[in-house]
Amino acid sequence: APDSMCSAWAVAACSESGTAVPDFALTGNALVACSESAELSMQLGAAFGDKGFWVNATAAYALAMASEPANTEAVEKHAAAIRQTK
């Protein structure tokens, strides 16, 4: 879907340039669009967390863990995001 591709592109571009992910990209579609990349899922998790969207951040970090099970940073950030949802 175009919306998903736009979200994934925005997350990737922001990751490369070190800028904040724009609000339009912080959607459920972005979770799906970035799900095959642990790096993009981590960036998306951070962006969701920066906005206080802890459930979505938790989902993004879970996707990063699924694509890279040995990613200890994803595990730590996932646990931290879960704590924020309580």
Q: What is the pLDDT of residues 50-68, one digit of tens each?
A: 999 999 999 999 999 999 9
Which pLDDT does position 72 carry in this prediction?
97
Report pTM. Answer: 0.86
4 band by pLDDT with thresholds 50, 70 and 90:
low
Residue 7: pLDDT band by 50, 70, 90 thresholds? confident
Q: What is the pLDDT of residue 1?
A: 45
pLDDT bucket at 13, cuts 50 / 70 / 90: confident
The tokens describing 86, both together, are: 């309580």
The rounded Cα 74 to chain-centroid distance in angstroms is 10
